[in-house]
Amino acid sequence: LLLVLTCLWRLDGGCDGGKENGRFGGGVSALDSYGELYGWISKGGSTPSRFFCLNLIVVQEEKTWEEALDHCRENHIDFTSLLSQTENILAKNQIQNSTITQRVWVGLRFLGDTWMWANGDPLEFQVWDQTADPDLKNPVWKRCGALTKQGEWENRDCEEKLHFICI
């Protein structure tokens, strides 16, 4: 007896999953009746690869960026990092509910002289709002990052209270 699970997955090895930079893909994972994890089986393949699921949690509580960071780290794993177009689209789709604020905090923060992810992930993929604040390159006040319902990033005042995404 196999229990089949479907989720967005991220390879932690050097294999190419056929998606952006070989990092994300889709398919199924398999567990036997004893809970033994077979691993990820790509669509069209039968050899499992090691994987983990990306579980985005939209928290519908309005908090400042720092309060949201604390909440994510205390109640979940961390603030989300959006490292690829796939992750960004997944997050965008999660915030389309009308009860969610027009933008949500993500783990983007401007520290020193650069934008970075709060958990230390590199900031390579970027999708800033095309009409972005001219202050974006060296913000004085708007030093925290938010994802809009259109799937673009904005720099915002860290004291603004928004919903947010944890992992």
* Three-state secondary-structure class, residue 140: coil
Where in the chain do CATH 3.10.100.10 domains reside?
57-166
**Least confident range of 21-25, 99-103, 143-147:** 21-25
Task: Estimate the share of the chain in helix, then strand, then coil, as percent rounded to the nearest 5.
Answer: 15, 35, 45
Give 22-53 pLDDT, tens digit per residue. 334 444 444 434 444 444 444 455 555 444 45
**Least confident range of 28-42, 58-72, 90-104:** 28-42
* Three-state secondary-structure class, residue 114: strand
The DSSP code sequence of 28-81 is EEEEETT--EEEEEETT--S-B-EEE---EEEEEEE-HHHHHHHHHHHSS-B--
Q: Encoding tokens for residue 131?
A: 């009409």
Binned at pLDDT 50, 70 and 90, residue 14 comes out as very low
Q: E strand or H helix at 89, and its extent?
A: helix 85-94
Highest mean pLDDT among 10-24, 28-42, 90-104: 90-104
Under CATH, to which class is 57-166 assigned? alpha beta
147 touches 108 (CB < 8 A): no
Phi, psi dihedral angles at 17 (to 5 degrees)? -85, 5
Q: Largest Cα–Cα distance in the chain?
A: 58
The predicted pLDDT at position 122 comes to 86
Q: Encoding tokens for residue 20?
A: 């952006």
**Cα–Cα distance, 47 to 40 (Å, whole number):** 8
Phi, psi dihedral angles at 155 (to 5 degrees)? -90, 135
Mean pLDDT of the chain: 77
